[in-house]
Structure 1
């Protein structure tokens, strides 16, 4: 899964990188090194601009709330549980299938955090022991320092308890699509610890390489099989992963120091 990531790039950089045509400076977000569910995040998407005479799709940089609320949901209470959609089933799940065909986006990130349980602790878990396992956080990021373009979906939800002209009447929410974690060796592996992403966690966000950006964002594309091919895992060996301090486990902590690489996993980390 993907439950925490970092997004510190400036909107001015993202608009150039993704060839964005429209961005409202009022939607500027502060750099965030500890993005958690229900936070507002940047998303690149293509759709017509509201009230514009020209109804052509326009590539935009928007701020959405992380945690998808289906349009048919009666309340938004389950948003924190809808942060991920599985690539293998996204085309058929009621919560995601319409968005998959019509409302796709890219969620730009520096990388994502994942927690790895040590071998001894995994054995305790499998044996049903009550001892709380130790988990070491890792930061996973493109080895070449490029943006991590996560495949995403977005959806609109109407709060029927508010009048239509109320600023909070419409929610725009999103979800990260995940796939099986790579089993190929990391481009750069830590001196101690995992040699592949699958050693850390069995799932990872779908990384869209630049050659897939245009096709993924194009709202005119609605063939399910073609779209499913776009969320197939890219070529392996593009990522690096390294241990970081357990301070990232607390969502209240935020700052570039959370991405600082440790020489080795911490000895006594409790998640």
Structure 2
């Protein structure tokens, strides 16, 4: 899955990388090294400009809330559970089927965090008492330091309890698509710990390589088979992973120091 990531690039940097034509300065987000569910995130999408009178899609950088609220939902309360959509079934699920066909986006990230779960049921004896071992967080990012373009979908939800002109009458939300984690060797692997992404967690956010960006964002593409073809995993060896401080486990901690690479897993954690 993808439950936490880092996103520190500025809108200007993202605009240059993705060929963005339009973004609103008032929607600029500060760098965030510990993005958690229900936070606002930058996304890249192709969509006609509102009230422009031109039906042609324009590449935009928008701010959406992470945690998709289906258009038919009675309330937004389940958003935190809709942060991920499985690539294998999103064309079937009622919550994701329409966004997959009509509203696809890219969620730019520096990389994502994942906690080793291989031994999450193992117990430690501490002063005669059983205590579950802490999970070791890893940061996963492109080996070359490029942007991690996570495939996403977005949706609009209308709050019927508010008048149409109210600034919070409409919610724009998104979900990150996940796929099976790579089983091949990492581009670079730490001396200790996982040798592949699947050693860390069986799922990972689906990374879109630049050759797929335009096709993925194009709202005119609606053929299900063609779209599902874009969900194929990228070539192996493009990612690296390294252990980071367990400070990232607390969502209140935020700063570039969270990305600091450890030489080995922290004492008291297990792989």
TM-score (norm 2): 0.95
Write out per-residue CA displacement over residues 163-198 of structure 1, whole angstroms, 9 at most, x where no aligned residue: 000000000000000000000000010110000000
SS in 2 for 1:117: coil
1:48 paired with 2:48, answer: yes
Q: Give unmatched runs, 5+ long, in structure 2.
A: 125-129
TM-score (norm 1): 0.95
Contact kept in structure 2, 1:2 and 1:205, CA below 8 Å: yes
Alignment of 1:11-26 (within 5 A): 11-26=11-26
Write out per-residue CA displacement over residues 96-127 of structure 1, whole angstroms, 9 at most, x where no aligned residue: 000000000000000000000354x54559xx
Q: 1:131 Cα deviation (Å)?
A: 4.0
Aligned to 2:239: 239
Q: 1:231 Cα deviation (Å)?
A: 1.1
SS in 2 for 1:29: coil
Aligned to 1:90: 90
SS in 1 for 2:100: helix
Distance 2:95 2:151 in 1: 16
Aligned to 1:201: 201
Aligned to 1:172: 172
CA RMSD of aligned residues (A): 1.5
Q: 1:133 Cα deviation (Å)?
A: 3.4
Contact kept in structure 2, 1:246 and 1:269, CA below 8 Å: no
Write out per-residue CA displacement over residues 28-73 of structure 1, whole angstroms, 9 at most, x where no aligned residue: 0000000000000000001110000212100000000000000000
SS in 1 for 2:214: helix
SS in 1 for 2:54: coil
SS in 1 for 2:132: coil
Contact kept in structure 2, 1:117 and 1:134, CA below 8 Å: no
Aligned to 2:259: 259
SS in 2 for 1:12: helix
Distance 1:132 1:122 in 2: 7
Aligned to 1:211: 211
Q: Give unmatched runs, 5+ long, in structure 1.
A: none
Distance 1:134 1:6 in 2: 21
Aligned to 2:127: none
Alignment of 1:25-64 (within 5 A): 25-64=25-64
Contact kept in structure 2, 1:48 and 1:55, CA below 8 Å: yes
Distance 1:122 1:200 in 2: 15
Aligned to 2:65: 65
Aligned to 2:77: 77
SS in 2 for 1:144: coil
SS in 1 for 2:116: strand
Distance 1:14 1:251 in 2: 24
Aligned to 1:132: 132
